[in-house]
Amino acid sequence: MLKTGDVVLNNFFNDKKLGIVYNPIVKNSSEVLQSLKNLLTEKNLRFEKFTIDSMKGGVDFVFVVGGDGTLLKAARFYSKEFVPVFGINLGRLGFLSQTTEEELSSSVEKILTGKYKIEDRLMLVSNDGVLALNDFVIKGSSASRTSRFYLSIDGKFVCDYLADGLIVSTPTGSTAYGLSAGGPVLSPRLNAIVIVPICPHTLTARPLVIPSDEKITISTCDSCTSFVVVADGQDAFNVNSKIEIEKSKFNAKLALLEDNEFYSVLRNKLHWGIAPKK
């Protein structure tokens, strides 16, 4: 098993089994899947393909064909297998993915010759065992009105929010919904959690950054019967009165190309700090 910072030998994959996870409903995924299979077959490498809804273990490295949502789901699944995932973006932004259909051949060659690193990404887990690599979004059961949320950290009451909801985000997820809601961008190397209120009804409610080893408890008022929680924009579930969120013991393992570090992605994909053209 590879560890973060390990040197990858050029022949590392010769005796390993690769996985390909693809999302069949994403445009061009079947064509990219076939191209990827051809590239791996030419190298005489063993691989197995799975749809995003039929993933299995028993592989040593996974190529993920789809958008960021596909990569998020695959990363959560393979985190428990301690297997790195590499994203091939067919979606829109592709912030987590490392390459595109046009760069497929050159990017696969870089992976196979060890020109990449494995980065451990902090994940969150709820008291019900649900994992999130990006964030948990907590909203009231009624979409037509604001809700009151009570926030406690490590058993100590912090404040209450009258808001449309709360976002509890990892550093990886800080560039997603949390950023749109006014939260800060955190380097993915930080061990921290961000709590961002969504449209709070007070000017004093601001995003809060806390250490990753603290446990977050969010509850509602006595008259509220339940609220809705969404993990990574994918897994939605109802919670009665209280949810606890903390750092997961599992880390997502993202395979990143050496020339595609976090700050260049910020600049190139989010156009960070780029002045408007005259």
- Give SS3 for 125: strand
Distance of alpha carbon 106 from alpha carbon 136, whole angstroms: 35
Segments in the chain forming alpha helices (H):
29-42, 68-79, 104-112, 177-180, 262-269
> Which tokens sit at 247?
């750092």
Distance of alpha carbon 45 from alpha carbon 14, whole angstroms: 6
**Of 60, 68, 120, 135, catalytic:** 68
Residue 22 in contact with residue 101, Cβ under 8 Å? no
Q: Which residues contact 54 (CB under 8 A, 6 or more apart)?
A: none
Residue 128 annotated as catalytic:
no
Amino acid (one-letter) located at 91: G
Residue 3 in contact with residue 34, Cβ under 8 Å? no
Catalytic residues: 68
